[in-house]
Amino acid sequence: MNASYGFEHVEPSRGLVAVHSQRWQPRRWHPRRWQLWCERKIAIAYVLTVDIAAVALAVGMIAAIPVHSGDLYRCALLVVGALVHREALRRIESLREQASTNGLRTDLTSLWIFAAALSVPLPLVFAVTAVVCLHSWYRGSSGRLYRTLFSGATMVLAPTAAVALLRLAQHSGYPLIPHGPLGLAVMIGAGTAYWLVNYALVVGAARLSDPLLPARQVLANPSDLVVVAASLGLGVALAVMLTVQPWMITVLIITVFALHRALLLPHFQQAARTDSKTGLLTAGFWREAAGRELERARRLADPLGVLMLDLDHFKSFNDRMGHLVGDQLLRAVADKLRSETRPYDLVGRFGGEEFVILLPGVGNAQVEHIADRIRECISRLRVLVDGPCDGPVTVDGISVSIGAAVRPDDGDDIHQLLLAADGALMAAKAAGRDRVRLATR
């Protein structure tokens, strides 16, 4: 969820940013410092409702459902397996997080929680969830503490829904693997309920946090659904193995590692053509993709627009706030550029604080309007960043200069169009910044 509210307002200064801050308690994990409180009120209420519901459900189930020694043994094996899984792939998973700047990620650790739901009573399922979430937070791979808590809450509600469905077909005993065709249908339904509850809760939080966020940045990649199905199938296999021959789960762990690496492959491919700081296309891949679009425009005799954008006074902001905070601002601007362009427009980072956008089918009549709309949207942007000293700060007053060029008037190859757009950008900056200039004027 992107934080955007909740700090004392100060009049913006002329230039790149005005900074607003509020002092917090010294420990970063203290609840008063959570960026959750900077969210929209409806998003805060939603997150707290889910968290409270999960805690109430967990307390009720722990009080009502007995746990036996054999259950503890299976639970311990699942915890060890989950921790080994996370530790073995922690470094390459961090690369996946860097490549996944938008959208939902499929977390294969959840297969251990699903296996627990099939293998042990719900109180121990919650124990596995707690260990996995605390490990994620401690290792720094799941973001801020309030997000970890919300993720844990969803992973309390999701297996509870799955178990409730499975108990319709099997009233007692473990593993919860119903038999026959009807049992298969119930198992598929339970897996679907497990995934859907978790998915719907997370998507709901993202949408309430930022209602204007494009759907393509919220919804999971459809290809990941195959991986989800495979991981839930492995969860079933783990549950059966724990009952028949517990120590044989080491064989399945190898399969889990292979599946996880297969999931990472497209992310590594994506990382090769995207900028690690912003998630936009790299300059090299942008030129390659833009070249293909230009060939298409020539064949169809279509116009094609190119915008070059430069954040005003960004160097002084970096010097004052630090490069890590500057990177957070770049990511926020990149997200805004993605949200203000069409899915087939090419948005890239050309280095430093400079961005480039290719607009297929856009001619002289539209390019200035599009550029000015983007400039105005960035000028209204408020970005919550980690301040260098006193905790989170809100940055606003951002401005951008834009130069625009159009094929065929300003050139008929990418190099010519970039030169024309860059010249227009220089003219915009020379004229006082925070404005749009066209190469043809």
CATH number, domain with residue 431: 3.30.70.270
Tokens 């722990």 label which residue? 62
Q: Is 16 inside any structural domain?
A: no
Q: Residue 197's pLDDT is what? A: 93
Q: Residue 92's pLDDT is what? A: 63
Domain edge (last residue) among 246, 273, 300: 273
Least confident interval from 32-46, 134-148, 336-350:
134-148
User: Based on the domain organization, do 226 and 289 belong to the same domain?
Assistant: no
Residue 311 host element (H or E)? strand 304-311
User: Based on the domain organization, do 261 and 344 belong to the same domain?
Assistant: no
Which has more pLDDT, 93 or 62? 62
The per-residue b/e assignment along 24-40, b for 16 or more CB within 10 angstroms, e otherwise, is: eeeeeeeeebbbbbbbb
User: Based on the domain organization, do 78 and 217 belong to the same domain?
Assistant: yes
Model confidence at 343: pLDDT above 80: yes
Domain edge (last residue) among 213, 244, 273: 273
Helix axes 314-321, 323-339, angle to 10 degrees: 140
Model confidence at 4: pLDDT above 60: no
Which pair of tokens denotes residue 305? 């627009």
Q: Is 269 inside any structural domain?
A: yes
The amino acid that residue 171 corresponds to is H
Q: Residue 424's pLDDT is what? A: 93
Which tens digit of pLDDT belongs to each residue from 216-234? 556 666 666 777 787 888 8
Q: Is 433 inside any structural domain?
A: yes
Q: Residue 98's pLDDT is what? A: 54
Q: Residue 102's pLDDT is what? A: 47
d(C-alpha 437, C-alpha 268), whole Å: 37
User: Based on the domain organization, do 367 and 261 belong to the same domain?
Assistant: no
Number of structural domains the chain divides into: 2
Segment 255-265 shows an average pLDDT of 68
Q: Which of 16-20, 204-208, 243-247, 258-262 has the highest mean pLDDT?
A: 204-208
Give the range of the structural domain holding residue 367, as residue numbers without chain letter: 283-438
**CB contact at 8 A, 79 and 194:** no
Which tens digit of pLDDT belongs to each residue from 272-288? 677 778 888 888 889 88
Segment 82-96 shows an average pLDDT of 74
Q: Is 13 inside any structural domain?
A: no
Q: Residue 215's pLDDT is what? A: 59
User: Based on the domain organization, do 430 and 293 belong to the same domain?
Assistant: yes
**CB contact at 8 A, 367 and 438:** yes
Q: Is 9 inside any structural domain?
A: no
d(C-alpha 23, C-alpha 36), whole Å: 16
**CB contact at 8 A, 332 and 210:** no
Q: Is 108 inside any structural domain?
A: yes
Band (pLDDT 50/70/90 cuts) for residue 8 is very low
The per-residue b/e assignment along 205-241, b for 16 or more CB within 10 angstroms, e otherwise, is: bbbbbbeebeeeebebeeebeebbebbbebbbbbbbb
Residue 395 pairs with which residues in a beta bridge? 19, 383
Model confidence at 151: pLDDT above 60: yes
Domain edge (last residue) among 226, 242, 273: 273
Which long-range contacts (C-beta less than 8 Å, at least 24 apart) are formed by 347-350?
347/280, 347/281, 348/275, 348/280, 348/281, 348/282, 348/283, 348/285, 348/286, 349/275, 349/277, 349/278, 349/280, 349/281, 349/282, 349/283, 350/283, 350/286, 350/308
User: Based on the domain organization, do 169 and 119 belong to the same domain?
Assistant: yes
User: Based on the domain organization, do 149 and 188 belong to the same domain?
Assistant: yes
Band (pLDDT 50/70/90 cuts) for residue 123 is very high
Degrees to nearest 5, angle at CA 102 with 373 and 94: 140
Average pLDDT over all residues of the chain = 80
Least confident interval from 5-9, 349-353, 376-380:
5-9
User: Based on the domain organization, do 231 and 151 belong to the same domain?
Assistant: yes
Q: Is 19 inside any structural domain?
A: no
User: Based on the domain organization, do 241 and 339 belong to the same domain?
Assistant: no
Q: Is 18 inside any structural domain?
A: no
Q: Residue 425's pLDDT is what? A: 93
User: Based on the domain organization, do 207 and 305 belong to the same domain?
Assistant: no
Instruction: Give SS3 for 4.
Output: coil
User: Based on the domain organization, do 205 and 68 belong to the same domain?
Assistant: yes
User: Based on the domain organization, do 268 and 310 belong to the same domain?
Assistant: no
Phi, psi angle pair for 52, to nearest 5°: -65, -40
